[in-house]
Amino acid sequence: MRCQYCNCTESKVIDSRPAEEGNSIRRRRECIGCGRRFTTYEKIELAPLMVVKRDGRREAFDVQKVKSGILHACEKLPVSMQQIDEMTARIEQAAYNSMEGEIPSQRIGDMVMDELKRLNDVAYVRFAAVYRKFTDLGTFMQELQKLVNESKDAER
């Protein structure tokens, strides 16, 4: 592992602990050259997973794309980075657990919607507006009404 400060290739591990719900290992390292500390993550390399888009195109699954969509939906809301990271990890694990090698983009979008619905109503509506491609106020209001009705049912 190359030090980010001095480019030295020798470092020693000071501390190791599980991260991302046990899906990776976080290591604190100390550079032998300059003595500064930095963090690295070790993660299992997963078999490639292809996402089948609505138009039939296929592209490699990119968890950063999922995280970016979630971050955009949660912008300026009381949602912590830890919550977003945990949500992203659950979605990534569910996608790879499908064991199919390919997953429709709609299924990934639905997983994100389910996670956001449990986390924050505003983030859910923001994501739904883009994901479901609301073209007019009527369809947007229908989704809001459905959310209000579900909220009322949960209170009972």
In a domain, 4, yes or no: no
In a domain, 61, yes or no: yes
In a domain, 6, yes or no: no
Identify the domain containing residue 135 by its residue range.
Answer: 50-155
Domain count, the chain: 2
For residues 89 and 21, state if they share a domain: no
Sign of CA dihedral 143, 148, 152, 154: positive
For residues 65 and 137, state if they share a domain: yes
Q: How many CB atoms lie within 10 A of CB 15?
A: 11
131 vs 62, more confident: 62
Mean pLDDT to the nearest integer, 59-82: 96
pLDDT of amino acid 84: 96
- pLDDT tens for each residue of 2-37: 899 999 999 999 999 998 777 789 999 999 999 999
Q: Is the pLDDT of residue 73 over 90?
A: yes
In a domain, 150, yes or no: yes
For residues 105 and 150, state if they share a domain: yes
- pLDDT tens for each residue of 114-156: 999 999 999 999 998 888 877 778 887 887 888 788 877 777 6
Per-position DSSP letters for 9-59, written without gaps between them: S-EEEEEEEEEGGGTEEEEEEEETTT--EEEEEEEPPPPP-EEE-TTS-EE
- As beta bridge partners, residue 28 has 15, 39
For residues 39 and 60, state if they share a domain: no
For residues 107 and 144, state if they share a domain: yes
52 vs 156, more confident: 52
For residues 110 and 131, state if they share a domain: yes
Query: Does the pTM of the predicted model rise above 0.85?
Result: no
Place of tokens 């993550």: 41
